[in-house]
Amino acid sequence: MEKGGVPIFKPVGVWNWCDWPFLAAFIPTMQILYVAESLIQLYQQREQVRGLRLVYAAPVLRHFTARLEEIS
């Protein structure tokens, strides 16, 4: 599949940054490393991480005013 002449999906094989040189300009390596390290840390602490339940949300800007409680 292509969008604007840029392939979105690679049909066969493994993803390689060399195949996507334009991504290097938009996603700096340090950001990718930060995300990878965060995901590894989250996976290692998966037993301690609990879900949250939405208790209250305002009709406007709910993501700023929401109240959450931990699911036990």
pLDDT per residue rounded down to tens, the chain (72 residues): 444 444 555 555 555 555 666 666 666 777 888 889 999 999 999 999 888 999 999 888 888 889 999 987
* Stated pTM of the model: 0.45
The answer to whether residue 5 sits within a structural domain is: no
Q: In terms of residue numbers, what domain contains 37?
A: 20-70
The answer to whether residue 3 sits within a structural domain is: no
Please count the structural domains in the chain: 1
DSSP string for residues in 16-61? -GGG-HHHHHHS-HHHHHHHHHHHHHHHHTTTT---EEEEE--SSS
The answer to whether residue 28 sits within a structural domain is: yes
The answer to whether residue 2 sits within a structural domain is: no
The answer to whether residue 1 sits within a structural domain is: no
